[in-house]
Amino acid sequence: MELEKALVVQQDTPQELTKFDPSDTSQYDTHEETKEELQGVPQNPPVVNGELDSKKSFFILFICVIINVVTAGVCNSFAVFNTLYLKLFSKDQASSIGWIGTMNIASMLLFSLIATPLIHYVGYRKTTLLGGAICGVALLLACFSTQIWQLALTQGVLFGLGASFPFLISVAMVAFWFEKYRGFGMGAINAGGGIGGIILSPIMQKLIDSGGGNNYKRALWVSAIIVFVILAFSSIFMIERVPVNSRDGSEPKKSKPFDKAAVFDVFVFLVSVSTLFGDVAYTAPLYYLPTIAEGRSGISSRATLAVVLANIGNLTGSLIIGFLADYIGEMNIIILSDFLITVLLATIWPTTSSDTPILGLSFVYGFFSAAFLSIVPGILGRHYPEHRAPGVIGVMFVYVAIGLIIGGPTAGALYDTSVRINNYYPLILISAVGFFVSGCILICAQIYLRKHRDTKFGYRL
């Protein structure tokens, strides 16, 4: 009897399963549940175009270094032009001439706010290419400039505008493509500026000397060609790394045209104000140590040598300090460098009278200031998501630009005062105090980060 019932069940079940009524929507319930379960999984997962700290990462880093050779490198070689302009425009005060170099660097940082929304709408490649075109036009227009204000607008502001686009992009690329070696990547980018200064300074000096010692126009149009060609080529390789995010099904977050939250972020503010004071201090040794070396020796080539030594120091410091930052922390290495610069400037500069100590100081200053210049963007890149990197770093660059705008003319005015009173204590004071205050504020940023972030940082911060 039980066997017969079992056979009946087996016969009835297949008959019920084979029934199909298209009008019966209840038959699709299982399918709807499956769709709901799959809603969290992207139908077209993002394509991953490279891994962190990979061979591709280092290739893109190499291209970013080349970008900085012709952008920051032009800025780092300006001291050659500055020494010449002090002679050609002797009726003008040094503070007026200092505006050229000041606006050159400051504009490159200040206009990064424009670069951020431009990148958002047209992409990294086109923005880099546009920047190269603006740089080339700026230097060509500078060839026709015969007054300080004209050079300040062309060689200064307009070139800085163009350079800001590829410069910010090169910094953002390190944040995209590196994690373990991010400090080294930032150091390598800054080393590009040092390499550019080493290469371009003697080339510019030779071109200037070819016209009886004042042919700055030839140097400018040659620079225009070099900068445009290299940036146009480099733009091909400026691509954002698409993160691996298919594991949790989330879509990749895109950068915003302007990161409003970064403006009111306390940690960003502290790091940025620290850089502001550092940049106020940075300009005086950068522009006037070469002039002092020439004045003490009576040989014009000593100014070029001081520039080259500073850039060699910048190059080696960027790589070594960037490497160390990955092991002892970005902020730690910057604080240490700030305090060392303070001591060295206050002891070597005022206690010597020949050009040799100044040449040595130029190298040492370039070495330790590399920490301040190259590692600061890495601080923000490490503590904020990748999609926020351009916006957060762009806000910080505005403070850097303000510091340079204050520091350049101030250093020029203090140089005039130093010449008048026949000692350089005013220049030494602004530099030493600026770097000391910068280091102290960065310590405050460390304390804030430890108190307001859940992450356990340990000593490496």
Q: What pLDDT, on the 0 to 100 scale, is given for residue 254?
A: 59
Q: Is 2 helix (H, G, I), strand (E, B) or coil?
A: helix
Q: How buried is residue 452: exposed, middle or buried, by Cβ count under 10 Å (0-12/13-18/19+)?
A: exposed
Tens digit of each residue's pLDDT (9 = 90 or more) over 148-203: 899 999 999 999 999 999 998 998 898 888 888 887 888 888 888 878 888 898 89
- Read off the pLDDT of residues 365-413 as tens digits, 9 standing for 90 and up: 989 988 776 778 778 877 777 777 777 888 888 888 888 888 878 888 8
Q: Give the integer Cα–Cα distance in Å for 439 and 332.
A: 9
| Residue 40 located in a structural domain | no
Report pLDDT for 252: 54
pLDDT (0 to 100) of residue 202: 87
pLDDT at 253: 59
Average pLDDT over residues 76-95: 79
pLDDT band at 247 (very low <50, low <70, confident <90, very high): very low
Task: Report whether pLDDT(27) > 50.
Answer: no
Tokens 């010597």: give the residue.
352
Is the pLDDT confidence value at 80 over 90?
no
Angle between helices 301-328 and 182-209 (to 10 degrees): 170
Q: At what angle do helices 301-328 and 355-374 cross, to 10 degrees?
A: 40
Q: Is residue 28 part of a domain?
A: no
Does some domain include residue 9? Answer: no
3-state secondary structure of 384: coil
Rounded to the nearest integer, the mean pLDDT of the chain is 81
Q: How many domains does the chain have?
A: 1
Distance CA 250, CA 246 (A): 7
Q: Domain of 86: which CATH number?
A: 1.20.1250.20
27 assigned to some structural domain: no
Query: What pLDDT is attached to residue 169?
Result: 92
User: What residue numbers bound the domain in which 206 lies?
Assistant: 55-242+257-452
158 domain-assigned:
yes
pLDDT in tens, 430-457: 999 999 999 999 999 999 988 887 666 6
In a domain, 265, yes or no: yes
Nearest Cα to 176, choosing from 42, 377, 461? 377
| Residue 113 located in a structural domain | yes
29 lies in some domain: no
